[in-house]
């Protein structure tokens, strides 16, 4: 995968999590990186540097760090930011975070040296992945804690994971893969730090700013110290939020598509009508997602233009309309799809954005402090994603209820023979209900909260790290709920045998039966649920029907599953 800082997307980033891909830096991106670094070197030589102080607390002391103390100061800076807690990110998520950080550094706004950037690329290609705890970021000034842990590993400190060793000492793993730990050159150290004296307590601040409009000449007794490459280029940005969010939105996309397929199978098993998905109805309310879902369900239920044997068997059914979780599937699933598209667009911009501070502006020959590190954009979008995709599980759980309840389905209670002796799908429905309930709590938006940090310097934060993590948790729950519905729908189809469904839905049923047999008597459900969830997470259900959905429809086919049905008459 060639990274240039401009063309990465969520799908590619998630693909890179597998460990099956290497990274190359585009040649024109290397040119930008070199130019940005040269600009910083020139600024240093000319002594045109100013630090900024903006805490609003009064007395300040400016501390110039001598060359002899730079290396220790850099170590102090990184180690002081390594304050994350909780379990580490998985190797897959760490690959995404590292790849994304490399991508934004390729934009040439950070001032990192090409040598250091190449070290990051080598670490990714060798799957040398630092220990990065998943908790500790407030999402402004960027994801400091997780990115500091990443930088620490690249410096050969702390723990690191590799395929051959698992978790081990970072320096040993780097050396085993012939990668030299990051060791900043003299001109890649810390130029100046700001010490805020509050109640006579020294606080190391992160507000390094190099602004021409405030430029002053600073004289030093020895060689000028240098701009902190670690702080500028390695630990300031929104890459934790965006990386976790990218996994969430891509998994949401495929579970939403497959939820449409499962809903169609449930509709068939419950002998519902496809009239509610008539193109004319959805053309009158032309939301993109709604129309797409309706079209998918029409094609799944009417492939070939001939109603299925199950449909033909109930064409004289007196029921006029179905419950909302069947009839309004396009409207509810549709907004989930549109939400996913919206969030994808936000994240694709974020993946290719420079979120450092200060920004090195090559064309203008200056550096300016700004606020691109603030994670509000992805935080808000991912809160929205959680809310949007949760509703798919809410609909699915209600359809599970309809499948299991004989009052709604005219099928055996809990989809099992010898009810009472067998409990059937009674408890899988409870599992689905519990996951939906958890999601309701997780859908509370984290980005509406903010706590001031860094003694008032960071007085508004996004809480985007939690927004990303809980969005992914919601998506995971949705996958399980839809898997349970798929199990129930396939079991319900068994009670219609020997009648057949459409070719596409029979293909889905056959796919499920390759990993889970028909439920003839009570057995452990969790194994079945995990097996079908794996089918969904690997997109197998979607791949199974994609050719049917994308196939052109013969004119006149889409209007009704059964033109002579009582639904048409009513």
Q: Which residue has the tokens 């969790």?
A: 526
Is 458 part of the annotated catalytic residue set?
A: yes
Is 51 part of the annotated catalytic residue set?
A: yes
Q: Which residue has the tokens 């700013």?
A: 209
* Separation between Cα atoms, residue 496 and residue 125, nearest integer Å: 52
Higher-scoring residue by pLDDT: 348, 185: 348
Is pLDDT above 60 for 188? Answer: no
| SS3 readout for 177-188 | CCCCCCCCCHHH
pLDDT for res 458: 87
Catalytic residue selected from 124, 373, 377, 519: 373
Q: Which residue has the tokens 């903010």?
A: 450
pLDDT for res 104: 96
Q: What's the DSSP call for residue 68? A: G
pLDDT for res 539: 98
Q: What's the DSSP call for residue 223? A: S
Tell me which of 1.10.275.10, 3.30.1490.20, 1.20.120.1200, 1.10.357.10 is the CATH number of domain 2-177: 1.10.275.10
Q: For the segment 475-494, what is each residue's pLDDT rounded down to a tens digit?
A: 999 999 999 999 999 999 99
CA neighbor of 309 nearest in space, from 545, 502, 489: 502
* Separation between Cα atoms, residue 203 and residue 196, nearest integer Å: 5
Catalytic residue selected from 171, 212, 287, 327: 327
Contact between residue 367 and residue 374 where contact means Cβ atoms under 8 Å apart:
no
Q: Cα torsion for 470, 471, 476, 478, to the nearest 10°?
A: 120
Mean pLDDT for all residues in the chain = 85
Count the residues in the chain.
570
CA neighbor of 535 nearest in space, from 134, 129, 258, 340: 258
Q: Which residue has the tokens 């290396």?
A: 71
Mean pLDDT throughout 10-28? 98
pLDDT for res 303: 54
Is 28 part of the annotated catalytic residue set?
A: no
Q: Which of 62-76, 196-210, 344-358, 360-374 has the lowest mean pLDDT?
A: 196-210
Indicate the angle between helix axes 464-494 and 503-513, nearest 10 degrees. 100
* Separation between Cα atoms, residue 357 and residue 370, nearest integer Å: 6
pLDDT for res 46: 67
Higher-scoring residue by pLDDT: 99, 41: 99
Is 177 part of the annotated catalytic residue set?
A: no
Is pLDDT above 90 for 236? Answer: no
Mean pLDDT throughout 260-274? 96
φ, ψ dihedrals at 24, nearest 5° = -125, 150
Contact between residue 533 and residue 283 where contact means Cβ atoms under 8 Å apart:
no
* Separation between Cα atoms, residue 249 and residue 341, nearest integer Å: 9
| Those residues with Cβ within 8 angstroms of residue 384's Cβ, 6 or more apart along the chain or in another chain | 339, 342, 343, 445
Burial state string for 41-52 with b = 16 or more CB within 10 A and e = fewer than 16: bebbeeebbbbe
pLDDT for res 318: 73
* Separation between Cα atoms, residue 357 and residue 360, nearest integer Å: 9
Partners of 161 in the β-ladder: 129, 167
Is 327 part of the annotated catalytic residue set?
A: yes
Quick one: tokens of 478?
A: 């949705």
- Given pLDDT bands bounded at 50, 70 and 90, which one contains residue 222? very low
- Given pLDDT bands bounded at 50, 70 and 90, which one contains residue 44? low
Contact between residue 105 and residue 32 where contact means Cβ atoms under 8 Å apart:
no
- Given pLDDT bands bounded at 50, 70 and 90, which one contains residue 554? low
pLDDT for res 316: 76
Catalytic residue selected from 81, 101, 509, 561: 81
* Separation between Cα atoms, residue 50 and residue 55, nearest integer Å: 16
Q: Which of 181-185, 350-354, 376-380 has the lowest mean pLDDT?
A: 181-185
- Given pLDDT bands bounded at 50, 70 and 90, which one contains residue 566? very low
Q: For the segment 60-96, what is each residue's pLDDT rounded down to a tens digit?
A: 334 555 556 656 766 777 888 999 999 999 999 999 9
Q: For the segment 302-348, what is each residue's pLDDT rounded down to a tens digit?
A: 754 788 999 888 877 777 789 999 999 999 999 999 999 999 999 99
Mean pLDDT throughout 419-436? 97
Q: For the segment 268-293, what is each residue's pLDDT rounded down to a tens digit?
A: 999 998 889 999 999 999 999 999 99
Catalytic residue selected from 196, 228, 236, 439: 236
| Those residues with Cβ within 8 angstroms of residue 108's Cβ, 6 or more apart along the chain or in another chain | 5, 29, 32, 33, 35, 36, 360, 362
DSSP string across 263-299: HHHHHHHTT--SGGG-HHHHHTS--HHHHHHHHHHHH
* Separation between Cα atoms, residue 436 and residue 442, nearest integer Å: 10
Domain 238-450+460-550, architecture per CATH: Up-down Bundle (1.20)
- Given pLDDT bands bounded at 50, 70 and 90, which one contains residue 553? low
Contact between residue 21 and residue 124 where contact means Cβ atoms under 8 Å apart:
no
pLDDT for res 184: 55
Higher-scoring residue by pLDDT: 540, 207: 540
Higher-scoring residue by pLDDT: 489, 51: 489
Higher-scoring residue by pLDDT: 54, 264: 264
* Separation between Cα atoms, residue 378 and residue 370, nearest integer Å: 18
Is pLDDT above 50 for 543? Answer: yes
* Separation between Cα atoms, residue 80 and residue 457, nearest integer Å: 17
* Separation between Cα atoms, residue 300 and residue 294, nearest integer Å: 10
Catalytic residue selected from 188, 268, 458, 485: 458
Is pLDDT above 70 for 182? Answer: yes
Contact between residue 391 and residue 338 where contact means Cβ atoms under 8 Å apart:
no
Mean pLDDT throughout 14-19? 97
Is 81 part of the annotated catalytic residue set?
A: yes
| Residue 140 CB-half CA count within 13 A | 24
- Given pLDDT bands bounded at 50, 70 and 90, which one contains residue 232? low
Catalytic residue selected from 37, 51, 398, 477: 51
pLDDT for res 365: 86
Domain ranges of the chain: 2-177, 238-450+460-550
pLDDT for res 64: 52
pLDDT for res 518: 98
Q: How far are the Cα atoms of 300, 491, 512, 519 from residue 495, in angstroms, in the given order?
A: 20, 7, 16, 11
* Separation between Cα atoms, residue 226 and residue 548, nearest integer Å: 61
Catalytic residue selected from 47, 175, 285, 324: 324
φ, ψ dihedrals at 193, nearest 5° = -125, 160
Distance from chain centroid for Cα 214: 40
pLDDT for res 560: 42
Is 324 part of the annotated catalytic residue set?
A: yes
Contact between residue 110 and residue 39 where contact means Cβ atoms under 8 Å apart:
no
pLDDT for res 338: 98
Higher-scoring residue by pLDDT: 204, 9: 9
pLDDT for res 437: 98
């Amino acid at each position: 995968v060639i990274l240039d800082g401009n063309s990465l997307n969520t799908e590619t980033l998630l693909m890179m999590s597998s460990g099956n891909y290497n990274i190359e830096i585009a040649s024109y991106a290397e040119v930008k990186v070199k130019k940005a670094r040269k600009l910083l070197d020139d600024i240093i030589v000319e002594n045109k540097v100013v630090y900024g102080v903006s805490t609003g607390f009064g007395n300040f002391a400016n501390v110039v760090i001598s060359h002899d103390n730079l290396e220790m100061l850099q170590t102090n800076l990184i180690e002081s930011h390594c304050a994350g807690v909780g379990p580490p990110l998985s190797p897959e998520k760490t690959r995404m975070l590292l790849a994304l950080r490399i991508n934004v550094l390729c934009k040439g706004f950070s001032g990192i040296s090409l040598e250091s950037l190449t070290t990051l690329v080598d670490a990714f290609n060798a799957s040398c992945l630092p220990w990065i705890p998943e908790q500790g970021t407030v999402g402004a000034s960027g994801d400091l804690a997780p990115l500091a842990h990443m930088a620490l590993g690249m410096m050969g400190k702390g723990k690191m994971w590799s395929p051959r060793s698992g978790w081990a000492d970072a320096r040993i793993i780097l050396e085993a893969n012939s990668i030299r730990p990051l060791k900043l050159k003299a001109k890649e150290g810390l130029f100046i730090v700001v010490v805020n004296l509050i109640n006579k307590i020294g606080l190391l601040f992160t507000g390094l700013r190099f602004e021409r409009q405030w430029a002053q000449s600073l004289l030093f007794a020895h060689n000028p110290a240098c701009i902190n490459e670690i702080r500028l280029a390695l630990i300031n940005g929104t890459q934790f939020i965006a990386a976790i969010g990218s996994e969430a939105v891509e998994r949401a996309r495929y579970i939403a598509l497959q939820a449409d397929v499962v809903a169609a199978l449930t509709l068939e098993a419950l002998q519902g009508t496809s009239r509610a998905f008539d193109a004319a109805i959805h053309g009158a309310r032309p939301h993109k997602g709604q129309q797409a879902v309706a079209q998918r369900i029409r094609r799944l239920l009417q492939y070939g233009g001939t109603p299925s044997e199950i449909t033909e068997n109930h064409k004289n059914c007196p029921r006029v309309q179905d419950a909302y979780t069947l009839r309004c599937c396009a409207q509810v699933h549709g907004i989930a799809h549109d939400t996913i598209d919206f969030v994808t667009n936000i994240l694709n911009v974020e993946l290719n954005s420079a979120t450092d501070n200060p920004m090195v502006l090559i064309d203008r020959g200056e550096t300016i402090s700004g606020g691109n590190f603030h994670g509000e954009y992805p935080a808000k979008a991912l809160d929205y994603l959680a809310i949007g995709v949760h509703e798919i599980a809410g609909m699915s759980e209600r359809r599970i209820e309809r499948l299991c309840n004989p009052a709604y389905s005219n099928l055996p209670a809990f989809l099992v023979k010898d009810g009472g002796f067998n409990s059937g799908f009674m408890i899988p429905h409870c599992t689905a209900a519990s996951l939906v309930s958890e999601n309701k709590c997780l859908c509370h938006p984290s980005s509406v909260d903010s706590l001031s940090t860094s003694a008032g310097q960071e007085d508004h934060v996004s809480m985007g790290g939690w927004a990303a993590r809980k969005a992914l948790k919601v998506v995971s729950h949705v996958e399980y709920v839809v898997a349970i519905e798929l199990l129930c729908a396939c079991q319900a189809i068994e009670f219609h045998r020997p009648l057949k469904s459409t070719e596409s839905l029979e293909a889905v049923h056959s796919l499920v039966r390759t990993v889970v047999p028909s439920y003839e008597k009570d057995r452990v459900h969790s194994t079945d649920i995990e097996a079908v969830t794996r089918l969904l997470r690997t997109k197998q259900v979607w791949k199974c029907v994609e050719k049917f959905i994308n196939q052109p429809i013969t004119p006149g086919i889409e209007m009704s599953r059964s033109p002579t049905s009582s639904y048409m008459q009513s």
